[in-house]
């Protein structure tokens, strides 16, 4: 080399130790950029998800890779780095579902989050952008340590991670002045949906371990189902005991296993009645080992189906009968003890554990029918806070000439909720958040332990929003109404940050505390109402091995001791209690033993506090210790609701008094339409209708809607049978409650209304004895008449004595053929109006 070259070589050798590391680093960075993924050519017109950029802020490989995970021929996205991760499926145009927030492109979020959390993936690149060696082959992701994650796992719909019982307790927000205590959790309980205590103080727990499918069950269209997939996939009843008196249950005994979707139980003598589709049966432990060894069916024929809509109960009535809820499914009931056959229809029911008699009650409640201290009955259904059933069936049976359109009234139309949990994408309604969609177990608080915070209060569980809501009952007027508690203006009585918190019951315990039953599940919606392509990617049984029960009490307040169950030694003493459960159990013990010797001790209680004297009066009437006139005279001077309870307690002897009267009342009660209910689905296949649906789905999907035009179309075509906010008539569903459902589902409901018909929306055909026909919606039933609602909202009351035949048709009251009056643009406009803000 020349002298100049020698000098350059010497300079390089001298500088090599300094330059080499930088040179190597630069080469590595360049290499990582060259090796980083590129958007597949066919998909370059689609924007990447915000988190899944090809390069980080410093221009290095961000860990994004393109892989066809589901074999549909489209490249999906998997990315993972030292900061975050995500899996995004590509949604082609033909599978786009705007209602589910699945736009065309990489919009289907399977999982995403921060590195290191419960659902994170092995990092594809390190913090400096270097490739870690993650590869994709043989149907799996392979990490540098040979960890294998199958594509099937990456295709599962994401969900928040479960919390331990202790962490879930910390996530529970209760009102200031109250405290929460975890009294039972896994492994003692799994999937609890109902609790009650026996006279020994033990807690009995009903566990629906076979939710959402019992082995072999499927959705009605057969697209989703399960064979036996777990040893926990069974309904159970357990007995919990607190052996050391610290308020925490520490012993669990399996009383009965192998049940199918059990929903509730009630204690009677030495056993329990259990609701277990299709039966209500009596089960008993005859040898004292805590396990059932005697079982007999009392009633059978309750309709099977979605476990959210099954027969359920039970609540002890002041009259000594057990009351149950229809569950929205009905049935033709065979009463084994009496041999009678009774069509349940749209009604709730009650039964007498002494004789086996079965009778209809006003309904129909979905999950939970409960009463207050004065014998007023309440139920609800999903998006309804509560119904007050203001007129008992037995009085209408006694007076068939009394014609009424409805025997229940809406208590509050409010639907706004204030959850504490992070909003998550609903599986069947993408944006249905902060609104009442799963209200259940409307239960009055029945003790004085909460002071004014619990006075005339009703609690409603709302598992979809992970909370327990509180309402104040208003007894002024002909029917009972309610309103949000003034201390809960923009909050809830109980709200959890844990999305797995699924309260199904909140009831007053024997110690005066509020006990909250938490089924603790990832998936709440039943697959019957989830699109199959989503349901198949869900862990439908996530949480099957978990369950929690909480005790809510006043902070630092001295409540009854011991906590939880309290054994009843003296029923007369227990009858003096301010606690509703104590009085109910005491009354039950006296009635099942037929203790007529207790009459003398009960009579002084007729001068006690109103709730006590009402229950004492009912007990005396059952035991035959007083005449109706004597009971009525003792209670007459009190408040109207107490006088009403006394009137009921007097029974048939004061029938004339009642007739004149829970007539005046009929004039005072507003004639409201029957509330919204859901029944099993009738399915019909019509290829011609499906062609129309497909056409409108394709054409309307690409059109922008105009709410103003949509309002005009709604008034012209839809409002005769549907309601949106204050506009229209509610014959079919209130469209405000379904506005967030996928556009495809709504279009199918418009143009193929008979494909999936909820029972309550099925047309009912009445043939009268004069051969005239009436076809419409069955709005309500009483022993003396039925009410048929016609399009436009007009109600026709038909006396049963005038009816020759009642027939439920397999078609909807919604007509076919609306394509003759609605264009694709009309559909886009009206759907935009339905989903618009007021």
pLDDT of residue 757: 67
Residues contacting residue 702 through CB under 8 Å, at least 6 positions apart? none
pLDDT of residue 546: 98
Residue with tokens 């008993």: 284
- Answer whether 322's CB lies under 8 Å from 756's CB: no
Residues contacting residue 44 through CB under 8 Å, at least 6 positions apart? none
Lowest mean pLDDT among 85-89, 462-466, 503-507, 674-678: 674-678
- What are 799-828's pLDDT values in tens digits? 888 998 888 777 777 888 888 888 999 989
- What are 421-439's pLDDT values in tens digits? 987 766 655 556 788 989 9
Tell me the C-alpha distance between 305 and 329, whole Å.
8
- Answer whether 471's CB lies under 8 Å from 412's CB: yes
Lowest mean pLDDT among 259-263, 474-478, 554-558, 762-766: 554-558
Dig out the tokens for 613 from the structure. 């004297």
Dig out the tokens for 740 from the structure. 């967030």
Tell me the C-alpha distance between 838 and 835, whole Å.
9
CATH class belonging to 165-554: mainly beta
Q: How far is CA 721 from CA 383, 728, 814, in A?
A: 19, 7, 8
Cα-to-chain-centroid distance, residue 786: 29
Q: Is the peptide bond before 133 cis (omega within 30 degrees of 0)?
A: no
Closest Cα partner for 754 from 713, 807, 698, 693? 693
CA atoms within a 13 Å half-sphere pointing along the CA-CB vector of 279: 12
**Average pLDDT for residues 121-129, to the nearest whole number?**
94
pLDDT of residue 310: 95
Total-model pTM: 0.73
Grouping H, G, I as helix, E, B as strand and the rest as coil, residue 92 is coil
Backbone φ and ψ of 708, nearest 5° = -65, -45
Backbone φ and ψ of 793, nearest 5° = 95, 0
Q: Indicate whether 671 pLDDT > 60.
A: no
Tell me the C-alpha distance between 582 and 508, whole Å.
10
Q: How far is CA 359 from CA 255, 299, 393, 655, in A?
A: 29, 12, 9, 19
Q: Indicate whether 369 pLDDT > 80.
A: yes
Confidence of residue 626 (pLDDT cuts 50, 70, 90): confident
**Average pLDDT for residues 716-730, to the nearest whole number?**
82
**Average pLDDT for residues 395-406, to the nearest whole number?**
80
**Average pLDDT for residues 620-637, to the nearest whole number?**
74
Q: Residue 200's CB: how many other CB atoms inside 10 A?
A: 12
**Beta-sheet pairing, 148-150 with 172-174:** unpaired
Question: Mean pLDDT: which of 474-483, 558-567, 576-585 is highest?
Answer: 576-585
pLDDT of residue 658: 43
Tell me the C-alpha distance between 496 and 787, whole Å.
42
Q: Indicate whether 190 pLDDT > 90.
A: yes
DSSP H or E segment with residue 252? strand 251-259
SS percent in the chain: helix, strand, coil, step 5: 25, 30, 45
Local structure of residue 715 (DSSP, 8 states) = I
Backbone φ and ψ of 739, nearest 5° = -60, -30
Confidence of residue 655 (pLDDT cuts 50, 70, 90): very low
pLDDT of residue 734: 73
pLDDT of residue 102: 66
- Same-fold call for 165-554 versus 683-835: no
Q: Indicate whether 761 pLDDT > 70.
A: no
Lowest mean pLDDT among 6-10, 212-216, 501-505, 661-665: 661-665
Backbone φ and ψ of 117, nearest 5° = -80, -175
CATH 2.30.30.100 fits 683-835, yes or no: yes
Lowest mean pLDDT among 340-344, 354-358, 753-757: 753-757
- Looking at every residue in the chain, the average pLDDT score rounds to 85
Lowest mean pLDDT among 443-457, 655-669, 687-701, 772-786: 655-669
pLDDT of residue 558: 52
**Beta-sheet pairing, 377-381 with 140-142:** unpaired
Q: Give percent above pLDDT 70 in the chain.
A: 85
Tell me the C-alpha distance between 350 and 361, whole Å.
7
**Average pLDDT for residues 129-155, to the nearest whole number?**
92
**Average pLDDT for residues 665-671, to the nearest whole number?**
43
Lowest mean pLDDT among 377-381, 429-433, 471-475, 644-648: 429-433
- What are 550-568's pLDDT values in tens digits? 999 999 865 444 466 678 9
pLDDT of residue 24: 45
Backbone φ and ψ of 713, nearest 5° = -65, -40
Going 587 to 593 to 596 to 600, the CA torsion angle's sign is negative
The residue with greater pLDDT, 590 or 654, is 590
The residue with greater pLDDT, 585 or 161, is 585
Q: Indicate whether 662 pLDDT > 90.
A: no
- What are 241-283's pLDDT values in tens digits? 999 989 999 999 999 999 999 999 999 999 999 999 999 999 9
Q: For the chain, which residues make up each domain, given as ranges?
A: 1-31, 36-154, 165-554, 571-668, 683-835
Local structure of residue 703 (DSSP, 8 states) = P
Residue with tokens 């009535």: 317
pLDDT of residue 606: 86
Question: Mean pLDDT: which of 94-103, 244-253, 553-562, 748-757 is highest?
Answer: 244-253
Q: Indicate whether 97 pLDDT > 90.
A: no
Q: Residue 413's CB: how many other CB atoms inside 10 A?
A: 8
pLDDT of residue 674: 39
Dig out the tokens for 80 from the structure. 């993972």
Q: Indicate whether 717 pLDDT > 50.
A: yes
Confidence of residue 370 (pLDDT cuts 50, 70, 90): very high
- What are 698-710's pLDDT values in tens digits? 888 778 889 899 8
**Average pLDDT for residues 456-462, to the nearest whole number?**
98
Residues contacting residue 809 through CB under 8 Å, at least 6 positions apart? 762, 763, 764, 765, 775
Closest Cα partner for 221 from 692, 535, 676? 535
Burial class (CB in 10 A: 0-12, 13-18, 19+), 591: buried
Dig out the tokens for 749 from the structure. 């409901």
């Amino acid at each position: 080399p020349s002298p100049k070259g020698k000098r350059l070589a010497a300079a390089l050798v001298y500088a090599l130790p300094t330059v080499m590391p930088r040179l190597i680093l630069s080469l590595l960075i360049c290499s990582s950029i060259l090796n980083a993924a590129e958007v597949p050519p066919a998909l370059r017109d689609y924007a990447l998800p915000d988190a899944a950029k090809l390069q980080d802020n410093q221009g290095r490989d961000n860990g994004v890779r393109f892989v066809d995970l589901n074999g549909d021929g489209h490249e999906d996205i998997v990315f993972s780095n030292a900061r975050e991760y995500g899996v995004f499926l590509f949604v082609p145009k033909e599978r786009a579902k705007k209602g589910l927030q699945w736009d065309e492109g990489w919009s289907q979020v399977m999982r995403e989050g921060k590195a290191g959390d419960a659902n994170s993936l092995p990092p594809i690149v390190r913090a400096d952008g270097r490739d870690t060696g993650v590869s994709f082959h043989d149907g799996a992701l392979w990490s540098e340590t040979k960890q294998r994650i199958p594509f099937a796992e990456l295709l599962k719909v994401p969900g928040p991670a479960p919390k331990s019982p202790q962490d879930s307790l910390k996530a529970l927000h209760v009102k200031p002045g109250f405290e929460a205590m975890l009294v039972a959790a896994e492994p003692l309980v799994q999937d609890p949906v109902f609790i009650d205590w026996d006279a020994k103080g033990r807690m009995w727990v009903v566990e629906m371990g076979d939710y959402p499918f019992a082995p072999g069950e499927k959705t009605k269209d057969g697209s989703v189902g399960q064979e036996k997939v777990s040893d926990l996939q069974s309904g159970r009843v357990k007995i919990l005991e607190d052996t050391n008196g610290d308020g925490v249950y520490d012993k669990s005994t399996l009383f009965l296993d192998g049940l199918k979707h059990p929903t509730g139980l009630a204690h009677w003598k030495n056993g329990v009645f259990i609701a277990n589709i299709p039966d209500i049966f009596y089960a008993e432990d005859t040898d004292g080992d805590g396990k059932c060894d005697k079982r007999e069916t009392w009633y059978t024929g309750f309709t099977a189906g979605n476990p959210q809509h099954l027969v359920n109960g039970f609540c002890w009535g002041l009259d000594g009968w057990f009351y149950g809820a229809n569950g929205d499914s009905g049935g033709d009931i065979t009463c084994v003890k009496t041999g009678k056959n009774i069509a349940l229809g749209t009604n709730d029911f009650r039964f007498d554990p002494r004789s086996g008699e079965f009778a209809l009650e006003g309904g129909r409640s979905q999950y939970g029918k409960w009463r207050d201290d004065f014998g007023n009955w309440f139920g609800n259904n999903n998006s309804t806070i509560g119904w007050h059933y203001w007129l008992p069936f037995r009085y209408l049976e006694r007076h068939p000439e009394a014609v009424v359109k409805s025997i229940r009234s809406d208590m509050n139309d409010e639907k706004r909720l204030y959850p504490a949990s992070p909003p998550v994408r609903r599986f069947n309604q993408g944006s249905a958040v902060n609104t009442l969609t799963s209200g259940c177990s409307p239960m009055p608080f029945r003790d004085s332990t909460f002071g004014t915070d619990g006075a005339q209060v009703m609690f409603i569980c709302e598992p979809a929003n992970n909370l327990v809501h509180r309402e104040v009952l208003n007894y002024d007027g002909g029917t009972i109404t309610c309103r949000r508690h003034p201390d809960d203006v923009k909050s809830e009585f109980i709200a959890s940050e844990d999305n797995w918190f699924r309260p199904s019951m909140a009831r007053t315990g024997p110690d005066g505390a509020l006990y909250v039953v938490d089924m603790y599940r990832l998936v709440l919606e039943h697959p019957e109402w989830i699109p199959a392509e989503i349901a198949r990617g869900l862990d439908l049984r996530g949480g099957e091995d978990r369950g929690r029960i909480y005790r809510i009490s006043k902070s630092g307040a001295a409540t009854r001791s011991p906590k939880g169950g309290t054994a009843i030694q003296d029923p007369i003493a227990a009858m003096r209690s301010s606690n509703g459960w104590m009085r109910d159990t005491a009354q039950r013990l006296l009635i099942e033993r037929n203790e007529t010797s207790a009459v003398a001790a009960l009579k002084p209680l007729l001068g006690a506090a109103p709730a006590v004297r009402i229950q004492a009066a009912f007990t005396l009437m059952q035991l035959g210790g007083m005449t109706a006139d004597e009971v009525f005279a003792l209670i007459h001077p009190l408040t109207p609701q107490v006088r009403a309870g006394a009137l009921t307690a007097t029974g048939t002897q004061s029938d004339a008094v009642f007739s004149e009267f829970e007539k005046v009342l009929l004039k005072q009660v507003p004639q409201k339409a029957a509330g919204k209910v859901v029944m099993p689905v009738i399915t019909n296949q019509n290829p011609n209708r499906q062609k129309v649906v497909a056409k409108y789905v394709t054409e309307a999907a690409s059109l922008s809607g105009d709410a103003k035009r949509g309002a005009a179309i709604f008034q012209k075509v839809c409002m005769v049978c549907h309601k949106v906010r204050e506009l229209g008539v509610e014959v079919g569903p209130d469209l405000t409650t379904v506005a967030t459902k996928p556009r495809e589902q709504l279009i199918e409901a418009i143009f193929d209304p008979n494909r999936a018909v909820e029972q309550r929306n099925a047309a009912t055909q009445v043939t009268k004895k004069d051969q005239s026909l009436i076809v419409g919606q069955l709005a309500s039933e009483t022993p003396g008449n039925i009410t048929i609602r016609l399009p436009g909202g007009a109600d026709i009351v038909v006396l049963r004595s005038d009816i020759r035949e009642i027939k439920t048709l397999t078609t909807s009251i919604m007509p076919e053929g609306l394509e003759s009056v609605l264009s694709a643009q009309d559909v886009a406009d009206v759907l935009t109006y339905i989903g618009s803000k007021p």
